[in-house]
Amino acid sequence: MASSVLHPIAARGLVRRFGDLTAVAGIDLEARAGSCLGLLGPNGAGKTTTIEMLEGLQSPDEGEISILGRSWATDAAGIRERIGVQLQETSFQDKLSVQETLSLFASFYRRPRPVPEVLALVNLTEKATARVHQLSGGQRQRLALGCALVNAPEVLFLDEPTTGLDPQARRRVWEIVEEFKRAGGAVLLTTHYMDEAERLADDLVIVDHGKVIARGTPPEIIRSLAVESIVEFSLAEGSTLDAGQLAELGGLPGVIEARNLAGGYLLEVDDTRAALGSLIGWLERSGTVATDIGTHRPTLEDVFVSLTGKHLREA
Amino acid sequence: MRLRQLHELTLVRFKLFVREPEAVFWAICFPLILSVVLGFAFAREEVEDSRVLVLESVGAEELAARLTAVEGLVVERGRDPEEARRRLRKAAVDALLRAGDPVDLRFDPRRPEGALARLRVEAALRGGAAVTRPEAEDETGFRYIDFLFPGLLGMGLMGTGVWAIGFAVVDLRRKKLLKRFLVTPMSRASFLMSFMSSRIVFLGLEFAVLLPFGLLLLKVPFAGSILAFAITIILGTLAFASIGLLIAARPKTVEGASGIMNVVMMPMWLGSGLFFSYERFPAFLQPFLKALPLTAVNDALRAIMLDGAGCATIWPEALLLVGWALVSFWLALKLFRWQ
Ligand SMILES: Nc1ncnc2c1ncn2[C@@H]1O[C@H](COP(=O)(O)OP(=O)(O)O)[C@@H](O)[C@H]1O
Ligand SMILES: [Mg+2]
């Protein structure tokens, strides 16, 4: 790639097809040293396919990849020596201990970190001799992170690192990733959790159906929506609004767009006070009983809904 | 560098193997139990009496009397020829006789009991007890257990190599650990080799139990060279480990792998001279049976233990095993599915 300063992770025009399905349809991305690039999208968006191409596990049908200025075609061994990877679904051997698992991975690298150092890094020192099957979900995920960090990598690839974990376990994973970033590493993270993307990602690429639908820093992306807030409400059980009524709502003062989503209703609003007033007036006029009216500042989730008409977690 | 990986991978494989109680059972306890059960079941094999049926006719009385006088013949009398033939078919009797000149003798030549009955009857008719009661050989080195034990050692080598390695590889593939290894600089050849080296380590443990058991308790002889024995079991282990890796090179499920394992091992269970000599199979099959790795292991072990053979005798088998190991390992490395 002819960029003057090459970022640790750089890819251009990635395409990957499976028969008739184009899982990745032309994705560009870059991650700077000391930063995290988030790849946010629903299930099936092409996140895993993209990250596996960057990890050298799949070859792109089109496009170029450069990891730490090297190419997979000419220096695969050199790249593997310097990257850390956590796959979306790997289970370790149940009957090995944490320490044994880490020292196995350490043996693959030329200059591994000492195992006790890795244990401390991922907070598993007191679990060193526990067998893998005795670990909680969060501890297993930290072991996976430990295996990704044994070689003191410069680049870290994380594919949905906190899926299925409880909030506390997720925060512990996030802290480890933040520590890695602070030390100057570049992270590529895929997730379908917007809170994870907002917390960890310095730059964000939102993907759906293999295509980039938004990119920028999280605040930039949210600002690009040009929405002041989101008003949500639901109706009493059994009642619904028809398409005409929804259009009426969309035309109310202060409202940009009205949507019916997952059983509830949602207004994108550029003047919150005006919109709330006109919504209440409209509900009274039409004799509709609304429950749970609320407003919130727009989030990445709302950007996704606005761009695709569906939630991140469904799809 | 590579050596450190191989060492670590071998250690891990070995630990995982001994932490799997089933694997240890099949490798050590199963051959022990089988040799005890079969060994004692066949230990006191008597040569049985022949049952013959004399059909009613002129002279039947006299014929029956002559036969009854001979040891090893039990005589029945019968009237109905149809019924008598049925009893012969069911192997309730070993031969049918009708008095006359010459005596009419019917037996099933495919059954060894039939042939034995004929011999005894002919001897009796020729004039008395020409055939003495044959004795079962019970001298050490000639017992069934002596034949069986080396075969069971070979079977254990094959079973452990193929099962333990095959299932371990498929499990790693299912867990996506193979894929995880692929994004590290791990050497793929080291990875596959660790299965063989860990088997060799375990082999020491296995034979430290099996061999004393066979030699001291079952009193199986060990007449030949210990070096040749060690070479045979090590090469056998390498050959079966490579075959295990080759079997596990592609399948994604345990079911898929065990199907292939059975297809691969069945001909060897039957045709490698495990429970009976493969020389009983038709001549055109012999070259194929002799080319099987388990046949080579069994032949070499028997030659060493029973006939006192050394390296000079068993080198063709050793060479064959090296061939199996190299070709299977190379194919496994080529065909291996990592993700
Ligand atoms: N090996 C494959 N063969 C066929 N289709 C695949 C394969 N891998 C992924 N896909 C398809 O490609 C799309 C993207 O999948 P994936 O990259 O796993 O999405 P994500 O990680 O965002 O959930 C999905 O529709 C998936 O079914
Ligand atoms: Mg995925």
Q: Give the number of other Cβ atoms within 10 Å of residue B197's Cβ.
A: 19
Same-domain status, B101 and B242? no
- B interface with A, Cβ–Cβ below 8 Å: 1, 4-5, 7-9, 12, 15-16, 19-20, 172, 175-177, 179-186, 339
pLDDT tens-digit series, residues A224-256 = 888 899 999 988 877 888 888 889 998 999 899
Same-domain status, B97 and B167? no
Contacts with A276 (C-beta within 8 Å, 6 or more apart), sequence order: A231, A254, A293, A295
Cα B9 to ligand 2 centroid, rounded to whole Å: 29
Residues B249 and B264: their CA atoms lie apart, in Å, by: 14
> Which strands form A36-40's sheet, in the order they lie side by side?
A83-86, A155-159, A186-191, A36-40, A203-208, A211-216
For residue B102, give the CATH number of its domain.
3.40.190
Cα nearest neighbour of B10 on chain A: A104
Contacts with A120 (C-beta within 8 Å, 6 or more apart), sequence order: none
Kindly report the average pLDDT of chain B as a whole number: 88
Closest CA to B306 of B240, B206, B214, B236: B214
- pLDDT (0 to 100) of residue B130: 45
Cα nearest neighbour of B3 on chain A: A107
Q: What angle do CA A142, A147, A149 make, to 5 degrees?
A: 90
- Name the region of B72 (left: φ>0; alpha: ψ -120 to 50; beta: rest): left
Same-domain status, B72 and B125? yes
Check residue A114 and report its DSSP letter. P
How many structural domains comprise chain B? 2
**End residue of a domain, out of B136, B171, B192:** B136
Asked whether B77 and B54 are in contact (CB, 8 A), the reply is yes
Q: Which domains does chain A have, with CATH numbers?
A: 9-217 (3.40.50.300), 226-297 (3.30.70.980)
- Pick from B1, B15, B183: CB nearest A57: B183
Same-domain status, B322 and B275? yes
Same-domain status, B219 and B325? yes
Same-domain status, B240 and B97? no
Same-domain status, B127 and B151? no
User: Which portions of chain B are predicted below pLDDT 70?
Assistant: 1, 42-47, 127-141
Containing structural domain, residue B202: 2-41+143-335
Give the gap in angstroms from C-alpha A280 to the nearest C-alpha of chain B.
Answer: 55
Same-domain status, B29 and B54? no
- pLDDT (0 to 100) of residue B73: 86
User: Which portions of chain A are predicted below pLDDT 50?
Assistant: 1-4, 315
Q: H helices within chain A, ranges in order?
A: 47-54, 72-82, 98-106, 115-121, 137-149, 167-182, 194-200, 218-224, 243-250, 272-286, 300-308
Main-chain phi, psi angles of A57, to 5 degrees = -85, -25
Same-domain status, B273 and B252? yes
Closest CA to B45 of B190, B147, B122: B147
Asked whether B95 and B72 are in contact (CB, 8 A), the reply is no
Same-domain status, B91 and B209? no
Asked whether A195 and A273 are in contact (CB, 8 A), the reply is no
Query: Are B176 and A108 within 8 A, CB to CB?
Result: no
Alpha-carbon separation of residue A277 from A248, A273, A282, B6 (angstroms): 15, 6, 9, 72
Query: Are B177 and A104 within 8 A, CB to CB?
Result: no
**End residue of a domain, out of B87, B103, B136:** B136
**End residue of a domain, out of B136, B165, B199:** B136
Q: Which ligand is nearest to the CA of A313?
A: 1
Which chain A residues touch B337 with a CB distance below 8 Å? none
Closest CA to B246 of B159, B325, B321, B160: B325
Structure-block tokens of residue B289? 């049976």
> Which strands form B104-107's sheet, in the order they lie side by side?
B73-78, B50-55, B95-98, B104-107
Answer yes or no: is the C-beta of A45 below 6 A from any ligand 1 atom. yes
Same-domain status, B258 and B187? yes
Same-domain status, B197 and B55? no
Query: Are A95 and B1 within 8 A, CB to CB?
Result: no
What is the three-class DSSP state of A245? helix
- pLDDT (0 to 100) of residue A2: 47
Query: Are B177 and A95 within 8 A, CB to CB?
Result: no
Give the gap in angstroms from C-alpha A88 to the nearest C-alpha of chain B.
Answer: 10
Cα nearest neighbour of A75 on chain B: B185
